[in-house]
Structure 1
Amino acid sequence: MEALLCREIGDPTVPLSSSSPIVLSHSHPVPELNSPTSVRVRVWATSVNFANYLQLLGQYQEKPSLPFVPGSDYSGVVESVGERVSRFRIGDKVCSLAAYGSFAEMIVADEKDLFLVPNGCDLVAAAALPVAFGTSHMALVHRAQLKAGQVLLVLGAAGGVGLSAVQIGKICGAIVIAVARGNEKVELLQSMGVDHVVDSNTENVIENVKQFLKNRRLTGVDVLYDPVGGKAMKDSMKLLKWGAKILVIGFASGEVPVIPANIALVKNWTIHGLYWGSYKIHDPRVLEDSLKELLSWLSKGLITIHISHSYRLSEANLAFAAIKDRKAIGKVMVVMETNTQPMSKF
């Protein structure tokens, strides 16, 4: 089968060749059912996340042994099942999250790790759901317990997790303020019903948000959702009210910010670190409940997946380049060659 193979740590955006860090293998072994409850899935689509990009650079907290097939959240169709599998049948549409391995035509998972995709849900959208929306749902609903009427500030709001955060914030009834770069991203966020959008390319974020809060007679931000880090996080702390909650999602800026403990003490801030994937090990039931609710929302049209870039497996380097160059608005996806689904490649 075809699979994307990482042979050495390096830049995954260089053209695929015999000497590139990642190569397209046309004869990778088909994964075998390794237990009575395992399921082999023919992959339909898989997400390209910032974490995948960092992992290939050797900059992510999880470092698989080389060589390995990268990839995390995916969707597909059940191709074969172990003798004790009871929840799934051949032909079922499913989605899941793997530690690695989804950049391939087939992947094997235990049935307890798979989720049935509801009828009517697009499989590419289902593949885009787990990491981005799972992260935001866990952060906002489970950790911050975001409530109606509270003010939510989302940094990096046009990225995969950012767009999911603003949608979930609106579902929770929050007043959502979004920060993004560029007119195209601002217009998309406005079309999604965000209460206030700031273009950080042309506007002073802090002064702009302060004016919005003043106009709405609001005293400050209740929840800060930050996948960016760096200066954006440091500046945004000026907007937080007493008792605010800070959600540390990631550091797309490349800089890990320092949150002054003395100010957190005086302001009674709560700081939540959110490494979503670790729930699979430490509290899988919460993760399962979260994904089930998200799939229900997707089937009902309460959330939408915005995919700006789609590529074939043979174009994976271009997918990683879209992540590296901050071209993505929402999700970047890899859709397998064997699918007949029309592509919208950029």
Structure 2
Amino acid sequence: MKASKNTKKAGILSRMGYELALVAFLLVWFLFMGIMKPSFLTLNNIVTVLTRISEVAIIAVGMTVVIIAGGFDLSVGTVMAIVPVVIGICYGNGIPFGLAVVLGVLAAVVIGIINGILIAKARFQPIIGTLATMTALRSIIYVLTEGKPVSTFPKGYDQLAHGSFLGIPIPILILIAVIVLFQWIMKSTKYGRFIYSTGGNPKATNIAGISVDRITILVYVVSAVLSALAGIIFSSRLISASPDAGTNTAFDVVTAVLMGGTSINGGQGNILGTMLGILILNFIINGFNLLGINAYWQMIFMGVVLLLAIGYDAKRRSGFAISSLFRRKNSDA
């Protein structure tokens, strides 16, 4: 029992150490860019970056929940695109805007349920199941829009993305609310514990009387709804719903989530770590843009970061497995 407590404590300290290292790296980057490009540290630039990344960060919260539960969701970008399309088409055909928004969110819920059923009930691998959904949804988007942006939105719709409250941009306020809500759910509620348990040891979770299938479906619904929210904010920014929206979103989100310390095998991770990953990646890209670094080099950087994050996760898991083996041998002795 004592060894188990010590192991748990060591794991917590290890995760805190990793997150502190991310914070330290972010501060060093800010210092470096402040010297190279003083405009980087201006309030205007920082607020602009935070506002621009709000959509991706909201989706990343949902992706974190899915990956902690042992899943993976490649369809987030297409959900982000299709929900505003549904809203715009419904409103353009005379449906009241409030009802159009409800129908768009319901479409996201249905997509999340389909993803969850494919993985929990039909036993598709998460990547394959959500890849199929992603492909089908993108085709549906192009059929619905004929490849053209949908611009039938009411007057004032742009205020969601461009408005502010008490001087703080609304997208940032929405992001903060999402972070606080899901940090609380994951750390302080039984549903959060069920999600960690589902990703960490699904067999033991089932034996304990918790429906792994139900939790799996739930996390995909959460991911889809948060992707819908991000899509609504994004379309408000453009005052149109683009059929090409969210094309590379899944890659960016997964990179940030894994960089933030969430294990690709499930059972480990947290929302705040993901937010650190989002901040680091996007402020680095912002710095690259200010320094005039070619966009192709930025793509190479993102790929390298993803490989490093996966490599770190693999090393952490192998180290945990080896230490567990030694503890088991010592207890047997």
Same fold (TM over 0.5): no
TM range (shorter): under 0.3
More helix by share: 2
